C-alpha cells in the first residue's frame, strides 16, 4: 500500500491583500501573464495532469472546505515535494481568486507553456499533427487540445494566435491536456516551411473543397489544418495545401464549430491508421 503523505506544512493567508493572492488575481490578465511568464491552473484534474507530465507549479493555493475528493492531500504533497509553496486560505478568499462557478479548492501558479518549432521533436515514423490558425475562443482551443490528446497525435501547432494558449480558460477547456501533448506556437509561414522540411502533407479543411474528408489517405505523415471560427483559413494555407477537404453539411448550417470539425478529422485519421484494414475501412483507391 502506498504510504500516506506526511503532514503538509503551509502558509495560511486570511487577507485578500496578501501579495500572492493579489498576484493570482492579476494573472487573469493576458499582459500580466506574459510579463511574468506565468499562468493559472485551477482544478484537481488539471493540476494532476500537469504534475503527472512533470509540469510543476511554483505556488498552490488551496481551501480544504472546497475539496471534492479524497486525493487532494496527495496532490499537495507531490507539489510540495517538487518545491511548490503551499498557501491555505479561506473559502471566501479562494472564491475571489477562482475563475470557476464551482471551484474545487485548488489553484496553482505555474510557468507558462512556451515551446517553439525548433524545440519540437517528432519521434513517430508517421507523425500526425493538428494545426490551428488564428483560433479566437479559448474554449475552442482547449477542446481541440483535449481531442488531440484523446487521439494520441504527436503535437498541436497554434499559428498566428488570436487567443493565448496560457489563458486559464484554455487550461480548463483542455482539462489539463495542454500539459500532456506538445503545443507549439509559430507563424503560418514558419509552420508551412516546417511541414515541407519534414515531408508532412498539409490537409487543409475548407468548405469550398470538393473532396470529402474520408477520401484522403491519412496513413502518411499528415498535418490537419483548421482555421478561425469567423474567417477560416488564410489564403497562404489554401495555396500551400497538399490536400483540401470538406466535411459534408446536410442541414441549414454551412460549417461546424472548429473544435468539432477538428475532432472529426483527427479521428478519421486515427481510424485509417488502425492495424486491421477491415476495421479501418480504408481503400487504396482513395485519392
CATH of the domain at 181: 3.40.1280.10
Tens-digit pLDDT profile for residues 186-231:
999 999 999 999 999 999 999 888 899 999 999 999 999 999 888 8
Same domain, 190 and 209: yes
Residue 167 pLDDT more than 60? yes
Tens-digit pLDDT profile for residues 131-164:
999 999 999 999 999 999 999 999 999 999 899 9
Number of domains in the chain: 2
Residue 180 pLDDT more than 90? yes
User: Across the chain, what does the average pLDDT equal?
Assistant: 92
Instruction: Report if residue 68 sits inside a domain.
Output: yes
Same domain, 155 and 220: yes
Instruction: Kindly indicate the confidence band of residue 13, based on its pLDDT and cuts at 50, 70 and 90.
Output: very high
Instruction: Kindly indicate the confidence band of residue 42, based on its pLDDT and cuts at 50, 70 and 90.
Output: very high
DSSP-derived letter for residue 242 is: S
Mean pLDDT of 163-171: 95
Q: What's the order of all strands across the beta sheet hosting 155-159?
A: 183-186, 155-159, 128-133, 222-226, 201-205, 243-245
Q: Which of 136, 96, 100, 155 is nearest to 230 (CA)?
A: 136
Q: Which of 111, 133, 152 is the last residue of a domain?
A: 111
Cα(125)–Cα(216) distance, rounded to whole angstroms? 19
Residue-level pLDDT at 278: 55
Same domain, 55 and 143: no
Same domain, 242 and 138: yes
Same domain, 265 and 169: yes
Same domain, 159 and 104: no
Same domain, 76 and 167: no
Residue 234 pLDDT more than 70? yes
Same domain, 95 and 182: no
Instruction: Report if residue 287 sits inside a domain.
Output: no
Instruction: Report if residue 3 sits inside a domain.
Output: no
- Domain with 33, as residue range(s), is 11-111
Please report, for the domain that includes residue 72, its CATH number.
Answer: 3.30.1330.30
Q: Which of 54, 85, 111 is the last residue of a domain?
A: 111
Cα(42)–Cα(209) distance, rounded to whole angstroms? 40
Q: Which of 65, 81, 111 is the last residue of a domain?
A: 111
Cα(164)–Cα(141) distance, rounded to whole angstroms? 9
Same domain, 137 and 101: no
Residue 114 pLDDT more than 80? yes
Instruction: Report if residue 285 sits inside a domain.
Output: no
Instruction: Report if residue 70 sits inside a domain.
Output: yes
DSSP output for 164-221 = -TT-HHHHHHTTTGGGTS-EEEE-HHHHHHHHHHHT-EEEEE-TT-SSBGGGS--SSS
Q: What's the order of all strands across the beta sheet hosting 106-111?
A: 11-13, 85-89, 59-62, 106-111, 38-42
Its pTM stands at 0.90
Residue-level pLDDT at 3: 39
Same domain, 235 and 172: yes
Instruction: Report if residue 5 sits inside a domain.
Output: no
Instruction: Report if residue 202 sits inside a domain.
Output: yes
Same domain, 182 and 52: no
Mean pLDDT of 245-259: 88
Same domain, 186 and 130: yes
Instruction: Kindly indicate the confidence band of residue 6, based on its pLDDT and cuts at 50, 70 and 90.
Output: very low
Amino acid at each position: 500500500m502506498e504510504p500516506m503523505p506526511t503532514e503538509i506544512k503551509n502558509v495560511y493567508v486570511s487577507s485578500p491583500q496578501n501579495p500572492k493572492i493579489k498576484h493570482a488575481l492579476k494573472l487573469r490578465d493576458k499582459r500580466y501573464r506574459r510579463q511574468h511568464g506565468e499562468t493559472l491552473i485551477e482544478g484537481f484534474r488539471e493540476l494532476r495532469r500537469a504534475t503527472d507530465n512533470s509540469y510543476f507549479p511554483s505556488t498552490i493555493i488551496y481551501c480544504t472546505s472546497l475539496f471534492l475528493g479524497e486525493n487532494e492531500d496527495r496532490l499537495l504533497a507531490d507539489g510540495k515535494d517538487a518545491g511548490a509553496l503551499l498557501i491555505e486560505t479561506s473559502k471566501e478568499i479562494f472564491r475571489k481568486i477562482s475563475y470557476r462557478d464551482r471551484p474545487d479548492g485548488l489553484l496553482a501558479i505555474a510557468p507558462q507553456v512556451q515551446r517553439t518549432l525548433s524545440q519540437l521533436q517528432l519521434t513517430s515514423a508517421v507523425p500526425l499533427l493538428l494545426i490551428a490558425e488564428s483560433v479566437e475562443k479559448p474554449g475552442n482551443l482547449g477542446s481541440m487540445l483535449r481531442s488531440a490528446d484523446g487521439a494520441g497525435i504527436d503535437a498541436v501547432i497554434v499559428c498566428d494566435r488570436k487567443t493565448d494558449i496560457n489563458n486559464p480558460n484554455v487550461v480548463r477547456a483542455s482539462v489539463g491536456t495542454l500539459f500532456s501533448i506538445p503545443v507549439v506556437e509559430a507563424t503560418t509561414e514558419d509552420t508551412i516551411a516546417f511541414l515541407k522540411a519534414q515531408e508532412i502533407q498539409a490537409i487543409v479543411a475548407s468548405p469550398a473543397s470538393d473532396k470529402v474528408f474520408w477520401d484522403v489517405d491519412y496513413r502518411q505523415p499528415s498535418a490537419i489544418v483548421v482555421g478561425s471560427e469567423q474567417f477560416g483559413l488564410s489564403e497562404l494555407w489554401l495555396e500551400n495545401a497538399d490536400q483540401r477537404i470538406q466535411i459534408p453539411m446536410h442541414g441549414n448550417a454551412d460549417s461546424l464549430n472548429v473544435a468539432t470539425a477538428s475532432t472529426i478529422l483527427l479521428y478519421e485519421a486515427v481510424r485509417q491508421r488502425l492495424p486491421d484494414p477491415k476495421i479501418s475501412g480504408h481503400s487504396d483507391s482513395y485519392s
